[in-house]
Amino acid sequence: MKVQGTPCLASFGIRKLTLVRTDARHKGKTLAQYPWPTAYACNIITPAVEESKVILSSGHDVCRTALLQISAGKVRQLWSCRYWSEGCSPVIHKGCVYMVIGQVHCLHISNGKLKWRGGNFGRDSSCLVTGDDKLVVFGSGDLGLVDASPKRHKYRELTRVKDVIGGTCYPHVALADGILAVKNKEGDVVCLSVRPR
């Protein structure tokens, strides 16, 4: 991300968010930090970034999501809400924040208010957004496709493939070069082609 023109890396550690500069003359220098302690040091998600803003979320004793504005030496919370993600890294897309904990949640990035929620993918879930306004959701061994058009005001599941893989599915769904990959914690991987025929 860039903070006031300075390239940085946002790292969510066990007790705080740390912004580190990556520009040549100041590489590795801490730009800003924001405390975010949780019970059992369970800050699991990858921060979601838009311009100089960062979305953080966690469960356990915190159970909230927040949008933070980053500047040199300073982090300001813009909003906080009681919708949260324990393991699913939030995805920012066209003014919305998507995350899954049981249900898919769509929040307005401007204020953190719930736009819609729906479906059921269990607690160990993940999601990613595609270039054509679709949300790929993976959880409890199921793979779903959800309409993520910013014009939508309610949950709309386009399709679901049940029992793609068995076991506990902590790892996030991944998409690269037209291959969709899902993995369980035992190390089994299923790869599906979504390339045009």
How many domains does the chain divide into? 2
45 and 117 belong to one structural domain: no
pLDDT bracket for residue 187 (50, 70, 90): very high
48 and 112 belong to one structural domain: no
> What are the tens digits of pLDDT across the range 68-102?
999 989 999 999 999 999 889 999 999 999 999 89
Of 31, 63, 84, the residue at which a domain comes to its end is 84
Say if residue 40's pLDDT is above 90.
no
Tokens encoding 187: 């190390």
The SS3 of residue 45 is: coil
For residue 174, what is the enclosing H or E element?
strand 174-176
Of 7, 6, 30, give the one whose Cα is nearest residue 20: 30
Say if residue 124's pLDDT is above 90.
no
Of 137, 138, 139, give the one whose Cα is nearest residue 147: 137
Residues 6+ apart with CB under 8 A from 176: none
110 and 195 belong to one structural domain: yes
Enclosing domain of residue 3: 1-84
96 and 190 belong to one structural domain: yes
For residue 16, what is the enclosing H or E element?
strand 16-21
> What are the tens digits of pLDDT across the range 132-185?
999 999 999 999 999 999 998 999 999 999 999 999 888 999 999 999 999 999
Mean pLDDT across 53-79 = 95
**DSSP, residue by residue, 139-151:** ETTEEEEEE--TT
27 and 99 belong to one structural domain: no
Of 21, 54, 84, the residue at which a domain comes to its end is 84
12 alpha carbon, distance to own chain's centre: 12
